[in-house]
Structures are given as C-alpha cells and as structure tokens.
Structure 1
C-alpha cells in the first residue's frame, strides 16, 4: 500500500508538471500570435499591393522597403512629408481594419479565467509587437531618407500614434470580451448599461445616415465622378483613383455625419455645412464629387431631422419609471455617442499639402452630438414622465404594488420575457411565507381550490362534493390543516382519505394517518413518511400545477 500511494503521487506530480509546461508553452504561443499576428498580416498585404503598383507603373524595385515602411506609418495615421509637402489626411479604411484585427486577437486571448496579470501581458504584447515594426520602419526611412522623397517623421509622434491605435483596439477587445465580469466588479447599474448600449446604437445610426448621404450625393453627381475618373487616362490610372476613393470613403462618411449633427467640414478654403457652402479648390479625387457646389438654404434644415429622430429613439428606449435612472441613461448614451464621433473625427482630417487643413471641426461635432442626444432625450424623459400610464405605474409602486426594477426593465427592453410565472391568486387571497394559501383567499379553477367547491358544515361525502373530494385525494395539495376543507364525522374521513392526523407546517406528521378503502371496508394504512412527503411536496411547490 505505501508503494502504491507513492506511485500514485508521483504520477500526479508528473501530470501536473506536464500540464503546467503545456500551459506555459500555449500561453507563450498565444502572446506571440497577439503581438505579431496583425503586423505580419498587414506587412504581407502591403508587400503584395506595393509590388502590384510598382509592376503596373514600371517603377524601380530598389525602394520597396522604404515604400512599405511609409505605408505602415500611414496606416497608423502618422503624417508623412514628401519633397517638403506634408500629407496629414490619410485613409482611414486600413486603420480601421488593423484596429479591428488587434481587437479580435486581444478578445480571443482574454477569455474567461484569465488573471489580471495575464490580461496585462496580453495588452503589452498587443502593443509591443506593432511598436517593434514601427521602430523598424523608422530605421528604414532614416537610412534611406537621402535617396527617397519620404522623410522620416518624428519618432515620438510615430510611437504615440502606434500606442494609441493598438491600445484603444486592445482595450475595446478585452473590455467587450470581459464585459460581464467588469460590470459585476464595478457595480454598473442597469441605467448605465442601457445608456452604453443605446449610445453605441446612436453612433452607428448617425454613421449609417452619413453613409446614405454620401451615396445619394455620389448618385446625384455621377457625371462629375465620371469626369474625375477620366483623368486617369489608362486602366492603371482608373484603378488607382477608384482604390484611392475606396480607401478614403470612411473619412468622407465621418465628415457627412458631422455635417448632419451641425458641424462644418472644410477642405482647404472650402467649407460645407447644412445651411451654407463656401467654394474652393479641391484635389481631383472622384470621391470628393460628393461635396455640394451650392448651398441649399433653408432646405438644409431638413437634415436636422436625422439626429433628432435618432436622439428621440434613444431617449425613448432609455425610459424608466425612475426619472433619475432615465436621465442617467440618456446622459451616458450622449457621452458614449459623442466619444465615438470624436474618436473617428480626429484621424479623419489633417494637412493636405498645399491645399491646407482638411477635416472636421472635431470639437463642434462632439458637442453637437452630445447636445442632440441629451437635450432631445431629456425632452422625451419629461414627456414620458407626464404620461398617464407612467403616473399610474408609479402610484401602483408607491401603494405597494409590484415594482419593476431597472434590471427587469433592461431585460424587457432587450426582448427577453421573464414573466413566465402566472400568478393565479385572486384579489382576496395571498401566499403565506411558508408556501401555503391564506384561508381568506381561494384557488382558481385549474386543479385548485374554489370557493364553490369548498367544504362547509352541510356538505357530506356524497353527490357532487364527493367528486371534488376524490379530486383532492389524487392531487398533491395538503388540505389536512385547512379548517374550511375539514368535514365533520367519518363520512368526511372516508371521502378525503385522511383522519384527524396532525400535520405541522414543516411537513412533520405526529401520528399515522389512516383512511378507508373505496368500498368502505378495511383500512388503508398511510405511513407517516408518505404523508409527510405529500405535505412537503404540496408546500414546497405551490405553483407546480401551473409551471
């Protein structure tokens, strides 16, 4: 026996050591994947695209490393200077794709069960890997700056943009994956959850409206788009202008969204808002044909219907019988929507060479988005609070009616119906704390006690009441304690199948319960344990017949 115990312990130690070693190796591989998965994929795509462009244009292959390095920095929104001209307006589509990839890798690695130290290691890996590639890109540009037109940017700015992009993406992925744990840890209220959820919805709805506006403007300016595409002269020129327009499409959508909420967009000397347009020189990019060439006057006020409708819907979905919770949810929704618009509007602009500063008035876009959601939401909250149905519901709660807490309201707003328990009690009765029915009440007609079927002093075990009594004998309802259901004499005993045995509230039977057979002869012995079991079953699940 001692030898067997020693062998078993040794096997357990070997298994634990092997599991720990495999877990360490798996964690190391996962960290490497998080750190260099997105950078490697991005570099591979850049190599293919740069090679295709150089082959189609007949360019020199000697500077491919410098071009790839410049593209990597451009993806991270690092302004580039070429021949003394600064290009700060960089396409957002590759940036959004890289951010989505980083968030996806970080989210998959931060599964449930990870400790805070492991989550910190995942965040460090997700940021550290791209920083290594950024350092290599800066080194390549500094080494070849004398031969290539692209100058090396500020190193601190390049590192800062890389940390900001991948840090925000990593935080978004980890928070989204562990959102339930974080909500439980920080005691987030249901109003905050509603506000966050509908703030995201408001931002997405505004961006969708901006996309529709851009599409409509492109369709209305289809001839101008064709003329600008004709400036490519050859197939590779047409393809280049088309790809360039697709890469800058998110920038234009963000600008259209800012215009809808009331901010202005400027491209050098040209500026656009809903009420006025000031003309100016534009680069020959087909996508910029979506910009209007004349103002619409008072007709542009119709555009304000979009943010008002979105804000009204958000304010209504954040409703609650508690006015403070309603206002809190609306405020959180406005803050979330404004933050998303600001985060997208900031990289959408920059310096556009000789044309000048281009982009969105970021401060105005954020303030106007916050104002639309909060002001309209507060108006909706005021209207909802003055509705007669809302007042009746509040009075019902104050008078001791059933309260609808924030979590229940949040689940109902999500489409989850948890009101599946049907309460069959009438107005005259209620359930006792021990699970029994109060004698002042009555059971409903579905396998339950009805005042028309109750026993009184004049009832006996014959006729219609005998059927009712036999029905109670087959059911699991304990009526041995109910004085209203206790007949006088042996007839009642033979009908119900119980004698005067005492059954306490907790199901304990003080003495054996006996009953007569159906033919009236002999005695059926009902054990104490069986009677107690039946009593406990009846008291423990008063809604069993209804579930």
Structure 2
C-alpha cells in the first residue's frame, strides 16, 4: 500500500526535478536555485499557496493537480479492484494522505531555508496541508469506485440509496461541466479578437515567451470550466474588485494572459438563456433514474459538497488582485438549488404516474367475453362438466382416529396369522394393528360383502365419512352376500 501511494508522488517529484534541472542548465542560472524551484513546483502541483517577492499566489492552475489526482485515483483503483479488507483500506488511506503530507512538509522546510538567502517565503503551512489533504482525499474517493462504496455501505448498514444518489449528483455535475466547457469555448471564440490585444501588451516578448503564455493559459483551463459552471448556475466569478455573472459584468484590467481574453467585458441580454445549462444537466441526470424524494435530498447535499470542494480548489489569491475565483457559497448553494427543484419536480412526476397507475389498476374491471364466444364455449363447458365426476362434499371429520385418505402405520402385531393366506396386498402386521385400533370399523365391515372394502380395511386405509354413509345405506342391498361377509368376519 505504501508503494501504491508513493509511486505517483515520487514520479511527479522526479519529473519536476528533471525539468527544473534542464531549465537551469539552458538558462545558465545558479544550481542553488534548483531546490527552491522543486519545492515551489511541488506546491503548485498540489494547489498549495506559494509566495515570492512578497507576492502571494493561491489561485493556481488546476491542470497539474488534476493530472496528479487522476494518477493517484488510478493507482488506488488498481489496488482495490480485487478483494480488499477494511484494514487494507485504512492502511491505503493513511498512505495516500501521509506521503504527500510528508513531501509538503519537506518542501515547506526547503522554502523556509531558502527564504534566508532568496526572496521567497514559505506559505501558510495549515492552508497548504489542507489543500493537499482535500486533493488527495478526493482522488482516493474517486479511485475506490462505486462498487466498493456500495460494499462498504452494506457492511456498515448505510442505505445503498446514499451511494446511488451520490452517483446522480456526480453525473449532474459532470453534465454541468461539459455544458460549461462548451459555453466557455463559444464565448472565447466570440472574443477571439481580444487575444491580439492581449498579446500587444508584450511588445518585446519572444516566441518562447508566447509559448510560455499559451502554456500557462492551457494550465488554467480547469479553473475556467469550474468558474463558468459557477456562473451559469447563477453565481459570479470575481477577480479582485471585478466580477462577472449572467446578469452583469464589472471588470478591472485583467492579467495579460490569452485565456483572460475570453472573459466578456459586459453581460449580453441573452446571457440569461444560459440558465438552461444547469436545468438540462439536472433533467438529463435524473430522468432515467426514477428518483424518489429521498434520492433528490441526498443528491442535493452531495452536489453542494462536491461543488464547494471544486470551487475551493480553483480559487484563492492572485497576487495584487486579491481574492479570485467563483464565490464558494453561492456557487454551491445555487448548484444544489437546481438539483433540488428539478429533482423534486421529476420525483413528483414519477410519483404521480405511479399513483395513477395504481388507481387505474384498482378500479378497472376485467373485460367480459363476448356473447358469441360465451355461447360457443357453453357446449364445451357442459361436456366437460358431464364427463368430470363430481365429488360429494366432504363432511368435517369428528373422529380424531380417522385421517381422510391417509395410511396409518402402527407397530406390527402377531395376532393375525391368517391374513397372509388370503393373498391380499396388506401385510399381517398392518391388519392386526388396524383390528386393535379400530374395532368398530371391523364390526362394520363384517356385514359388508365387498372385497374392495375388506382390502382397504386390511391395508389400514380409513374411508371418508361420506363413503361410510353410503356403506350404511347400502346394507340392505348387501344381505344377499351375508355368507361371504360371515366368512370374512370369522377370518377376522
């Protein structure tokens, strides 16, 4: 687990060291700067604040941190995709958080030591560690996957509904990010003429400098997407004293970067139409899931938390501009509000449809067959009725020793030695046991001349009460067979 968590961070540090070393050799700068550059770059990769020449920067490009988090998530996914225990997860969590925290403390100490010689200073350690922990904790949660989260919820008795609703919230935020990226691209190309004006502010910049400006702008693309998402839900993006929203725009001189040329100087009247972006994202994330009101509540909370974390990581101080980035509370609150409103409407719609279906099923009477079909089926039904014998209705059994149509097996007895000689199917032991338990039945059968009754008596089969009544009514007809009955009685 330690190797799993350490490899991404070690690889990033080695890449930083290699790039810094190459840059110093190409520029002919002192090698003593190498340690300071590595420490500052590590802070940038983890979105931790940096300070140099009394300028504090915490509004940092999020693309390097996104790449690091993606690598960590993939490593975590490979470690837990097979069978894993809770103890393994705890150890992996400690490693995922512990390794970058140790590296951040080392980098902070390096900057603190370099501050004695160079014009740099270590950032606020608590703020730096908080950002590092939040970033890597999010990577850990993403790498675990929904399947493992469901297993953990089942183990600790947490309703699976929470995991499923959180997935709905993540899907909603994903669609919102796609819509925000499209909106930013359209606005950027509509203001493409301003890119030339931005580059004219660097009259002596070389080709390598232009490439550097373009590279920095590309690194800020995730920041632009998150900020645009905050704007389209109804919040605002602020940069120092300036601010931009769908309803108004008040700008100050922006940093001379090509990406800032995409920020409009004023809010057009049609910008309110962009509120359809969060509406469509919420509908598309919900309509296939048939959510309940409980699902909507959990998804609302989850979307607010995730949006707040994303806005927190892409906002901060931008040098002399001051606080820059989307407004945390309004962005998270409005994002959750869209989910709550749309989700409640969708859940109410599905609940109404289910109620109508249940009501219709209760009041609907099955259709009766046509009269012609009924007449055609009548002869067939009558024929079946004639052919099928009708069983007489059975009377309740009052004798506890008689079980209707059930063989009663008792212990064998030697009191019936003559039963085997008659060639009957019943065994002597069964006949003797039946004679001892049911003497009244034996007396009844002495007056009967039907061999079938005698055979049933020997087998120990008790006849139903209805059959016994028939036997009693037929005693007068059985007088002619008294000889056979007497012989059967003597045998008994």
- Same topology, TM > 0.5: yes
Deviations 1:498-543 (A, max 9, x none): xxxx9x9xxxxxx9xxxxxxxxxxxxxxxxxxxxxxxxxxxxxxxx
Corresponding residue for 1:59? 29
Q: Which residue of the partner structure matches residue 308 of structure 2?
A: 342
CA distance in 2, matches of 1:185, 1:80: 42
Task: Please say if 1:209 is aligned against 2:173.
Answer: no
Residue deviations 1:7-64, cap 9 Å, x none?
Answer: xxxxxxxxxxxxxxxxxxxxxxxx2322320111111221233244445544333311
Segments of 5+ residues of structure 2 without an aligned counterpart are 369-378, 390-404, 408-424, 426-492
Residue 223 (structure 2) pairs with residue 259 (structure 1): no
Provide closer, same or farther for how the CA distance between residues 133 and 366 of structure 1 changes in structure 2, counting only shifts above 3 A.
same
* Corresponding position: 1:242 with 2:214: yes
Q: Look up the SS of the partner of 1:317 in the other structure.
A: coil
Alignment correspondent of 1:268: 240
Q: SS of the counterpart of 2:323? A: strand
Once the two structures are TM-superposed, the CA of residue 112 in structure 1 deviates from its matched residue by: 4.1
Q: Deviations over 1:125-146 (max 9, x none)?
A: 1222222222221222122212
Which runs of structure 2 are paired with 1:9-158 in the superposition (5 Å)?
Answer: 31-55=1-25, 57-158=27-128
Cα distance change of structure 1 residues 218 and 195 upon mapping to structure 2, 3 Å threshold: same
**Shift of residue 328, structure 1, vs aligned partner:** 1.1
Deviation at 1:427, TM superposition (A): 10
Question: Structure 1 stretch 377-386 or stretch 392-401: which is displaced more?
Answer: 392-401
| Equivalent runs, 1:401-412 vs 2, <5 Å | none
The one of 272, 284, 288 aligned to 1:301: 272
Higher helix share: 2
| TM-score using structure 1 length | 0.64
Residues of 1 paired with 2:219 and 2:362: CA distance? 58
* Rounded Cα–Cα distance in structure 2 between residues aligned with 1:397 and 1:104: 50
- Gap runs ≥5 in structure 1: 1-30, 321-325, 402-425, 429-450, 460-482, 485-501, 505-510, 512-547
- Is the contact between residue 175 and residue 281 of structure 2 (CA under 8 Å) also seen in structure 1? yes
Q: CA deviation at 1:84?
A: 0.9
Distance 1:234 1:175, change over 3 A: same
User: Is the 8 Å Cα contact of residues 221 and 289 (structure 1) preserved in structure 2?
Assistant: yes
**Aligned partners of 1:73 and 1:137 also within 8 Å:** yes
CA drift at 1:246: 0.9
Structure 2 distance, partners of 1:168, 1:398, is 49
Q: Which one has the largest radius of gyration?
A: 2
Relative contact order higher in (CA < 8 Å, ≥ 6 apart): 2
Distance in 2 between residues matched to 1:190 and 1:160, nearest whole Å: 30
**Any idea what the Cα deviations from partners look like across 1:111-168, whole Å, max 9, x if unmatched?**
4432222221111112222222222212221222122222112333333332332233
Q: Is the 8 A contact 2:5 2:76 kept in 1?
A: no
SS at match of 1:86: strand
Deviation at 1:186, TM superposition (A): 4.2
Change (3 A) 1:455 1:170: farther
**Which string of whole-angstrom CA distances, capped at 9 and with x for unpartnered residues, describes residues 305-358 of structure 1?**
1112222334433425xxxxx111122222222222111101211111112211
The count of residues paired between Structure 1 and Structure 2 equals: 383
1:359-402 residue CA offsets vs partner (Å, 9 max, x unmatched): 11100001101111101221233344444xx334223677899x
Q: Which SS does the other structure have where 2:253 is aligned?
A: coil
